[in-house]
Amino acid sequence: MTPLAGYLLVAALVFAIGLAGALTRRNAILVLIGIELMLNAANLNLIAFWRYSPHPEVLTGMMFAVFSIAVAAAEAAVGLGLVIALYRHAHTTDLDEINRMKG
């Protein structure tokens, strides 16, 4: 197995774990955690591809990962703001209970 394949497998595993977390947990915050894990797995892919690319000095993969980290930070802030607003509205963060579109 090449090193790149190892990194890609780990990334795939982390992505799957994140997806499982996002799809199976009740708590909205933990769903968000799952999404963050998926984003991170994608970043690992980007960096691994950059590292083993024929022209790493072009920096594209690395830049993509850095921007992705910045976007993820914004996503986390907005997502958690939404969760808090949701909690204030419905007094729960349980996604199985929050199933009505009408307030």
Partner 1 sequence: MNIVFWILAVITVLSGLAAVTLKNTVHCALAVTGAFAGLALLFLQLDAQFAGFAQILVYIGAVAILVVFAILLTRGSDTPAQGVFSRTWFAGLLIAAAVFTVLGWAVMNSAAALPHENAVPTVTVQQIGQALMGRYVLPLEIVALLLTAAMLGAVIVAMHEKGEPK
Between residue 18 and residue 37, which ones bind partner 1 under the rule CB under 8 A? 18-27, 29-30, 32-34, 36-37
Q: Mark 36-75 with x for binding to partner 1 (rule: CB under 8 A) and - for no binding.
A: xx--xx-xx--xx-xxxxx-xx-x--xx-xxx-xxxxxxx
* Buried-exposed string 52-89: b where 16+ CB fall within 10 A, e elsewhere: eeeeeeeeebeebbeebeeebeeeeeebeeebeeeeee
Distances (CA, A) of 16 to 21, 34, 40, 103: 8, 9, 12, 33
95 vs 102, beta carbon nearer partner 1: 95
Q: Using an 8 Å Cβ cutoff, are 30 and 21 in contact?
A: yes
1 vs 101, beta carbon nearer partner 1: 1
In the chain, the amino acid numbered 15 is F
55 vs 102, beta carbon nearer partner 1: 55
57 vs 101, beta carbon nearer partner 1: 57
Size of the site for partner 1 (CB under 8 A): 74
* Cα separation, 61 vs 21, whole angstroms: 27
Q: Taking CB under 8 A as the criterion, which residues in 74-103 touch partner 1?
A: 74-78, 80-85, 87-88, 93-96
